[in-house]
Structure 1
Amino acid sequence: MTSDFRGASADAVATLTGELETSVSGSPEVAAQVSRDLFSVATTLRGEGALRRFVTDASVAPEARQGLVGQVVGGKVSEQAMGLLRSAVSRRWTATRDLADALEHLSVVALVRSAGGEASRLADEMFAFGQAVKTTPALRDALSDPARSHQDKARLVEDLLGDKALPATTSLVTQALAGTYRTVAVALAEYQKVAAAAQQQGVATVRVARDLPEDERARLAGALERQYGRPVHLNVVVDPAVIGGIRVEIGDDVIDGTISSRLDDARRRLVG
């Protein structure tokens, strides 16, 4: 799944995002419930091919598509989620799979809204858990083990995060277990991009040999904001291989001012 929608799907997601913002405005509880509802329906659509094809078939009248969705999920989701679903199935989609992907995308946006003023903390916690999965083989294996049930993996996430993380973080990590993406870490990285976009931010991965003090982080964030014209959330990775200096990755751009890269350049020149 990707959040890079195109054509009619991009237009639909933009409209639905605006509708979502209105429907959950000012209520973290409603936002959290809408997120759960939308993700549940996305899962259903991925598992029910006939339903997915019917509700994305542009040759079927929108009223018929809305009616079927009402029959399938009516009474099982919140009023706000039902309104969004009726709107979603009435729209055109570039690809059949895009509707389910869009609902998952919207569920992430809703969870960001449920975090209120702690959206930055949510992004930090998602990144930290993703890094833990990448660097801890036992955790990575436990979360990817096909022999373990989804419920068992969800309990493991709850045990690990518990009251140490925001409820929205736990919910997003649990969603990441669904297998929409190749790995949990990839899912969380994509979720963080969606979260940043919802906050009108960029995301930069910063690799350093030692952790950056808050004042240095602030200066770097300010410099990147001036360069890219929008706030930038920093994901700081402490990597001893850097030796010194700093490497910044933001989108397709790489700013490499590390000592290790300069040494590599010197070696190549000597060999050449």
Structure 2
Amino acid sequence: MSEEQREAVLDEALDAAHVDAAFADQLFGVVDALDTSVALRRAVTDPAASEDRRSGLVHALFGPRVGEGVSGFVADAARRRWTTGRTFVEALEREAVRAQLRAADDDGTLEDTEDGLFRFARIVASDRDLRTALSDRVVPLEVRQRLVSDLLAERATPATLALARRAVAARNRTFDQTVEAYVDLAAAQKNRVVATVRVARPMTDEQRQRLRAALSRQAGRDVVVQEVVDPDVVGGVRVELGDEVLEGTVSAKLDEAKRLFD
């Protein structure tokens, strides 16, 4: 079974579970505990140990510290075979993000959370000093997370704030890359995909709706249009949809997209 297949199994398990913001917080706590201990990661993913032994170890270690639903979810995940302890932790963290987004969906704030994350990531990406402040690992994590809280105070959904604070602790990606991955997961929550549209000038509501409809037809499912205004964009518009990029006049497909702006 590939890592992608294991992730799909975890997705199904999480989708079938009762989750809320507390579940997500506790699952992030398990992720942090595993992340800081090589020995612990090895123990719960040891291929030489039986499934029952790995699962039982998770219950013994985390059962007293988290809810039954979280410990059961992690224990079931530990019964799978993982190539490394690190991939196991990364898969659990992905599910913790999805749990946080599920909680936002349940309280009706998923779209606001998705939009808030995207816009905050753009702010960070465009501000060199802020980007440095959030990524400087010499500065304690708590201080960097407090900065995020100060910037988003009273202007973000609880899920936006929680995930933006979480992204500061990202290990292998930049802050804005991590948040963009969260945005993709938020869109997937509703079986949608994200199209990042860079335009030389802001779109009108009509242009945005027409572009969204055209891209949805192309993608075969609902598309979320995230707009970035960039006066230097080639040809006046650049559309990033999955692995496909429509830019300037270099693509015949762009002519169709650009007609939406006429």
TM-score (norm. length: structure 2): 0.89
Deviation string for 1:146-167 (max 9, x for gaps)?
Answer: 2321111111111111120011
Which residue of the partner structure matches residue 188 of structure 1?
Answer: 179
Equivalent residue number for residue 151 of structure 2:
160
Aligned alpha-carbon RMSD (Å): 2.0
Deviations 1:8-38 (A, max 9, x none): 32222212212212212xxxxx421111111
Distance 1:243 1:255, change over 3 A: closer
Equivalent position of 1:44 in the other structure? 33
Note the C-alpha offset of 1:70.
1.5
Task: Tell me if 1:120 matches 2:111.
Answer: yes
Partners of 2:67 and 2:201 lie apart in 1 by: 47
**Unmatched segments (≥5 aa) in structure 1:** 1-6, 25-29, 263-272
Deviations 1:105-128 (A, max 9, x none): 001111111112332221111111
**Distance verdict in 2 for CA 1:93–1:242, change over 3 Å:** same
Worse-matched range after superposition: 210-219 or 166-175: 210-219
Letter paired with 2:12: G
Structure 2: segments with no counterpart, 5+ residues: 253-262
Question: Aligned pairs, how many?
Answer: 250
SS of residue paired to 1:180:
coil
Q: Give runs of ≥4 in structure 1 deviating > 3 Å.
A: none
Q: Report the 3-state secondary structure (helix = DSSP H, G, I; strand = E; otherwise coil) of the residue aligned with 2:227.
A: strand
Tell me how far 1:185 sits from its aligned partner.
0.9
2:66 pairs with 1:108: no
Give runs of aligned pairs for residues 238-253 of structure 1, distance below 5 A. Answer: 238-242=229-233, 245-253=236-244
- Cα 1:243/1:101, change in 2 over 3 Å: closer
For each residue in 1:131-178, what CA deviation from the matched residue of structure 2 results, as whole angstroms up to 9, or x when unmatched? 111111221121122232111111111111112001101111111111
**Is the alpha carbon distance of 1:246 and 1:258 closer, same or farther for their aligned partners in structure 2, counting shifts above 3 Å?**
farther
Measure how far apart 1:193 and its partner are: 1.7
Structure 1 residues 113 and 223: CA distance shift in structure 2, 3 A: same
Q: Secondary structure at the match of 1:233?
A: strand
8 Å CA contact 2:59–2:72 kept in 1: the answer is no
Work out the CA distance in 2 between the residues paired with 1:121 and 1:212: 19
Higher relative contact order at CA 8 Å, sep ≥6: structure 1 or structure 2?
A: 1
Measured in 2, the distance between the counterparts of 1:77 and 1:12 equals 23
TM-score of the superposed pair, with normalisation by structure 1 = 0.86
1:79 match: 68
